């Protein structure tokens, strides 16, 4: 049973659906003709990663579905594991089929499963938004991930309590270490290659959103994705770190909705302006980034 409870906004409903062996939880907001699927990363889940989007996106245009992957958030039990991203993408495809969704735009924080989904199931993905995403684990990214193993010392207090409430105080550190181990395995056994070989198969218009100061997904990975995904554009927050959808929710929501609503296939490079002030000293601490 979950001890973590959330009072959903009036326009957000909570659901579960059986997908193979998994009883998957998801949130739904809006009633528009354009289906938008939100896919979290790492140990994140729909509400922790996408609260501002569930609350803020145009509900007359979008039907927004925030997905809790198997073992994440409210899609428990069973406990979280870290299968291949091909397996994760197949589960998402089956989830969409179970909901009767023939195609959707996809917004993902972390983006690994979403990239594989868009490459292997092209007909399912209309447009793709990748936030703080890497297709190649760099050594410095792995070190930053591993540095968060010490949850009590490094995690933001608010995020820590939310995640403890969902996963348990004793269990959360074990799960994060497994995620760090998973990244270490990719780095050592696959030379960091998450899905570089699949990027050429992503054919849908793609918006990349990156933080210049992100320790977990370096800006070099953003430029690499931009070079290898054919119909991509990149937007960089000069002071941004990892949790861009939560750090800059108003600007983020406008930017993403404009991209998803546009008829043309966009391309090019955009940068944020100085309207975003420098992070204060407290925000500059790695402990105060929302990594989920």
How much of the chain, in percent, has pLDDT values that exceed 90?
Answer: 81
| 78 vs 271: which has the higher pLDDT | 78
Strands 62-67 and 34-39: parallel
**Active-site option among 132, 144, 214, 235:** 214
Residue 174 lies in a domain: no
Mean pLDDT for the chain overall: 89
Residue 65 lies in a domain: yes
**Active-site option among 75, 108, 132, 180:** 108
Say which residue the tokens 């043309």 belong to.
264
What's the pLDDT score for residue 5? 43
pTM: 0.89
pLDDT digits (tens, 9 = 90+) for 171-219: 999 999 999 999 999 999 999 999 999 999 999 999 999 999 999 999 9
What's the rounded mean pLDDT across residues 124-136?
98
66, 95 in Cβ contact below 8 A? Answer: no
C-alpha atoms less than 13 angstroms from C-alpha of 207 in its C-beta half-sphere: 28
Active site residue 14: no
Active site residue 214: yes
Round to whole Å and give the CA distance between 260 and 35: 10
| 38 vs 7: which has the higher pLDDT | 38
221: helix, coil or strand?
Answer: helix
What's the rounded mean pLDDT across residues 27-54?
96
Which residues constitute the domain of residue 80?
Answer: 12-136+195-288
What's the pLDDT score for residue 265? 55
Residue 91 lies in a domain: yes
pLDDT grade for 158, boundaries at 50, 70 and 90: confident
Residue 160 lies in a domain: no
What's the pLDDT score for residue 8? 63
Q: How many structural domains compose the chain?
A: 1
What's the pLDDT score for residue 264? 59
What sign results for the dihedral spanned by CA atoms 124, 80, 210, 222?
negative
Read off φ and ψ for residue 200, nearest 5 degrees.
-65, -20
Residue 156 lies in a domain: no
What CATH number has the domain bearing residue 103? Answer: 3.40.50.1820
55, 9 in Cβ contact below 8 A? Answer: yes
128, 105 in Cβ contact below 8 A? Answer: yes
pLDDT digits (tens, 9 = 90+) for 88-119: 999 999 999 999 999 999 999 999 999 999 99
Strands 206-211 and 268-271: unpaired
* Residues in the chain, overall count: 292
Residue 158 lies in a domain: no
Residue 26 lies in a domain: yes
Residue 30 lies in a domain: yes
pLDDT digits (tens, 9 = 90+) for 232-273: 999 999 999 998 999 999 999 999 999 999 985 555 455 443
Does the structure show a pLDDT above 80 at 10?
no
What's the pLDDT score for residue 156? 85
**Active-site option among 22, 25, 235, 242:** 242
């Amino acid at each position: 049973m979950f001890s973590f409870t959330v009072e959903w906004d009036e326009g957000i409903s909570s659901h579960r659906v059986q997908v193979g062996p998994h009883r998957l939880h998801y949130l739904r907001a809006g009633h528009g003709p354009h289906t938008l699927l939100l896919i979290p990363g790492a140990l994140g889940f729909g509400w922790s990663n996408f609260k501002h989007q569930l609350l803020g996106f145009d509900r007359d245009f979008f039907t927004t579905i925030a997905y809790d992957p198997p073992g994440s958030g409210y899609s428990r039990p069973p406990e979280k594991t870290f299968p291949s991203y091909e397996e994760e993408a197949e589960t998402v495809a089956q989830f969409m089929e179970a909901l009767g969704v023939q195609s959707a735009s996809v917004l993902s924080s972390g983006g690994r499963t979403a990239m594989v989904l868009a490459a292997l199931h092209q007909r399912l993905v209309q447009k793709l938004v990748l936030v703080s995403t890497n297709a190649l684990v760099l050594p410095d990214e792995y070190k930053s991930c591993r540095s968060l193993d010490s949850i009590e010392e490094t995690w933001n207090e608010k995020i820590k309590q939310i995640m403890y409430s969902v996963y348990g105080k004793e269990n959360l550190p074990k799960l994060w270490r497994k995620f760090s181990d998973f990244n270490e395995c990719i780095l050592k056994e696959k030379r960091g290659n998450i899905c570089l070989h699949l990027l050429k198969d992503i054919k849908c218009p793609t918006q990349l959103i990156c933080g210049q100061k992100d320790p977990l997904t370096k800006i070099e990975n953003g430029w690499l994705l931009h070079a290898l995904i054919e119909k991509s554009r990149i937007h960089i927050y000069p002071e941004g770190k990892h949790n861009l959808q939560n750090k800059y929710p108003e600007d983020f929501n406008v930017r993403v909705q404009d991209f998803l609503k546009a008829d043309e296939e966009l391309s090019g490079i955009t940068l944020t302006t100085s309207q975003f002030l420098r992070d204060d000293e407290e925000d500059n601490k790695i402990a105060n980034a929302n990594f989920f």
